[in-house]
Structure 1
Amino acid sequence: MNTARRTLGPTIAAHGVMILYTLIALFPVFVIVTNSFKSRRAIFRDPLGLPTSETFSLVGYETVLKQGDFFLYFQNSMIVTVVSLALILIFGAMAAFALAEYRFPGNALMGLYLALGIMIPIRIGTVAILEMMVSTGLVNTLTALILVYTAQGLPLAVFILSAFMKGVSDDLKNAGRIDGLSEYKIFFRLVLPLVRPAMATVAVFNMIPIWNDLWFPLILAPAEEVKTLTLGSQVFIGQFVTDWNAVLSALSMAILPVMVLYVVFSRQLIRGITSGAVK
């Protein structure tokens, strides 16, 4: 009985802490969503209050759907985010597998070179990137954003995935080779399923910065037909007047896909972060 209590107590406490942290993290989201359903006066008068019959208003959502092409912006953001994440995961996993599995001259130097991308922000090279995109004719295309975000996410992906792939059993891979599996089949059939938590971790860590980024869409793809959701929402923010109803409504709709993807990857994300922390 005492042993069960000693085991159950820390578990309940850990769940309580996780719930508390979740509520704290979701509080700003709650404030944004509730205020998006209130009139402008109510937003400033009682920002933490819930909408009532007197303060309830959908004017923000009406403005977002009428002014600009919200669904086009949403589509552009989804294409850029999903394609960038797919490229980051597949190329990052391949590079990590090569670094973790094969020993060759310059292995450590190559790993260090890729890790430097984590410490050096890609925005430092904005001018050079813009000149490169202009020379290749990729300005005002979603391809430019996808290439930049893929390059931005690869260093972190390789750094995380290589550490996990080093922990994959050599006996399992050698057994696959004995059975006649090629290196590609070993990678896709044996290794990738075992590092799914790490893949989910990389996906979440890269998804949010890509979805919320304003810098590169503003520099590389400011044209109306290729605007992302974050850039398209800036139309409601003026130098002297800001339509807060529309801004909060746009942010509320922009939060939804990120929340859905986070819920999808959350279990694998937690496993990826805590893997090896508890024995």
Structure 2
Amino acid sequence: MNSELLDAREELGRRIRASEEWENTYRKNPAIFDRLLRSERRLERHTLVYLRGLAERAPALVRWQYMPLHTASDDPLVDDSDRTRQIEAAIFIALVLQDIADLYAVGMDGGFEIYQTPVSVDRLTELRLDAARDHVGTLIKDVTVTNLKLIRKSIETSIAMGESVSDSINRVQQIIRNPVRAEMIARTEAVNAYQSGLVIFGYESGAESKTWLAKQAGACRICAPLDGVTVPLDQAFQTLIGAVLRPTAHPRCRCDMRLNYPK
């Protein structure tokens, strides 16, 4: 695929994302919104690269010699050792850390553009990098737990259906490399990172509280009741699913948040 086709594909993806039901405030700063969309797309692309790579590595995580004798829930069947988790974490971090750091930067820059409050750029850069590392470290733990569950469930299905090892491998790989999952991870974590960057900006610029914004069409039953709710900056919003510090409240959430300053 030549560069012109790639550019056209990326632009189409950006426009599709821009047309989604984002909370109205995202579009008030077109330059920041465009950066968010493009950063989200890069995160999705790199997440898919990771999942495709994991699909190739997944067969090596299954101890096929145990397959006729064990169920998928048995510990010996799938390798979930600390070493395996460390290897997967290193691969994932290498692929997406910069994307997450960029999204934190977009949130911080968005805060500056919206509120025009001076802050130390060097201080924000330091906080951004530390926060991005923590974010990705937590994310890969969750992703790995889900991946191992998917592998176990796939093998469980293969055992129940009496599939061969070859067919079992094909099943595992198709499940792991699912592009819909890469899209869901990226669309959720892009907003998480953006909003986390905005919160950091809030702390550094003296904000005292935050207000949840959910005026977008189709706001869900979790988010719609939060619209206009204000809490202190260091406290959580209370939702139907528990306490949430900032958007997102659920996968693919497109809510926004407003910082409030002393008058």
Per the TM superposition, whether the score is higher than 0.5 is no
The structure number with the bigger radius of gyration is 1
Q: Which has the higher strand share?
A: 2
Relative contact order (alpha carbons < 8 A, sep ≥ 6): 1 or 2 greater?
A: 1
Q: Which has the higher helix share?
A: 1
